[in-house]
Chains A and B, each alone.
Chain A
Amino acid sequence: MNHDLDKLPEIYERYPRTPQSLIAVLQDIQKEFHFLPTEALKRTAEELNVPLSKVFSVSTFYNAFSLHPRGEKIIRVCVGTTCHIRGAKQIQEQLENHLKIKAGETTEDKKFTLEVVACVGACAMAPVVAVDETYHGGVTVASCRKLVKKSKKGKKS
């Protein structure tokens, strides 16, 4: 994957160069590259005057950050109690087979990352599959393939 570190200075320009900006900067880097490249962590430590150990500590603490390349879109299958009862397991398996990856992995073309989450707080719509920020309720084994196809095509999922 081409991660163009030239984009970093522009990100640093958006926030005051203080340790307080660390999470905001990391979020923007994550958004830009879909993960936090090692070199970006080192540069961030220098730019914001934060010890590298702290940068690493923060970037491994939050689930929103990843040190390994992730897909452009994150598909999250809810496996909370309600979704579980309504067949989340089958949907997860279907998506795994379809994308040819296991939960937690990223497709080879770096389009999708599949994750399972405990509850997205939309139990009334169970079973729920969230593609980035868009929640899809009442998903079936048949419909989740279409969901992937649709999100692949359109910019908006």
Chain B
Amino acid sequence: MVSLTINGRVVQANKGEMLLSVTRREGIDIPALCHHDAVEPFGACRLCMVEITKAEWDGWTNYVAACLYPVEDGLIVQTHSSKVNELRRTVLDLLLARCPNSPEIRQLAAEYGVTQTAYEEIPDADNCILCGLCTRVCERLGFKAISTVGRGHDKVVAPPLKEAPPDCVGCLSCAQVCPTNVIQYEDEGNKRTIWNKSFELIACKECGKQTITRDFAEALSSQRNIPEDYFELCDECHRRELSVKMGSIVSWSREAAS
């Protein structure tokens, strides 16, 4: 265990833990767009910058990305000092120039008092902030269907060859983690379309509700050792089946007791 001071409050944390997870546990609101607990910290969005110092630093301070900074004993952290807020405003100002139409960015920027970017807005901007969360989550899940393509100004998130990605299973993880909701998909009947690729949705055997795609189910059952027929039922019907089974066990044991 290490002991550090955050905004004047002494806090205990595990050794090697990242600063951002400590502040989140303590209920301190630090904005972060590229962070997700399921993947390694990446430090792309730079919104979680905080001010750090130590007693022996003679008044010197440093500014670090909280998501990538392991906590140390005796660390003194300011999460919302005027300099930190100024740094965040700059980042938000740049993000606003990049994605002027993103409601998520606009709202976050407004919270920090930035309503209009000082930079030139990108013409026909999409809302992608290139945080790479989608590609990292996809990689973490083991599908590795999408990646960043190109570099510098031309960098985008795209499937290989910018065609329908052969490794995509239509799990929607990329769309769901996207902090600015850029990744579009469509569910129509038993068909799902994402990244220009179509998938068949499995209908629950009992209630007919659409669950996950056939490709995703196949991938899960082969890679994670889940029986194939598990995906024939939706979550609700699984629960119902389980409760009926449990109920029958209870009544059976009552009968046995009497």
Contact = CB atoms under 8 A, between A and B. Distances in A.
A61 B151 CA distance: 5
Contact of A53 (B150, B151, B160): B160
A125 to B, nearest CB: 28
Interface in B231-258: none
Main secondary structure of the interface of A (DSSP, over half): helix
Contact of B147 (A38, A41, A54): A54
Contacts of B126: none
A54 B149 contact: no
Interface residues on A, range: 10 to 19
Which has the most chain A C-beta neighbours within 10 Å: B145, B149, B150, B161?
A: B161
Contacts of B150: 60-61
A56 B151 contact: no
Contacts of B147: 51, 53-54, 56-57
Interface residues on B, range: 10 to 19
A41 B146 CA distance: 15
Contacts of A51: 139, 144-145, 147, 167
Nearest to A38: B161
B168 to A, nearest CB: 9
A24 interface: no
Contacts of B159: 53
Interface in B126-160: 135, 139, 144-151, 159-160
Nearest to A53: B147
A57 to B, nearest CB: 4
Interface in B157-209: 159-161, 165-167
A52 interface: yes
B144 A56 contact: no
Nearest to B143: A51
A3 to B, nearest CB: 16
A56 B161 CA distance: 7
Given A51-B167, A52-B167, A57 B149 contact: yes
A55 B166 CA distance: 13
B115 to A, nearest CB: 35
Given A38-B161, A41-B161, A56 B149 contact: yes
A51 B159 CA distance: 11
Contact of A52 (B135, B139, B148, B166): B166
Which has the most chain A C-beta neighbours within 10 Å: B147, B148, B150, B151?
A: B147
Interface string A69-96: 0000000000000000000000000000
Contacts of A53: 135, 144-147, 159-160, 165, 167
17 contacts: A38-B161, A41-B161, A51-B139, A51-B144, A52-B167, A53-B145, A53-B147, A53-B159, A53-B160, A53-B167, A55-B160, A56-B147, A56-B160, A56-B161, A57-B147, A57-B149, A60-B151
Interface of B: 135, 139, 144-151, 159-161, 165-167
- Counting from the closest, the 6 A-B pairs by CB-CB distance are A51-B144, A53-B147, A56-B160, A57-B147, A52-B160, A60-B150
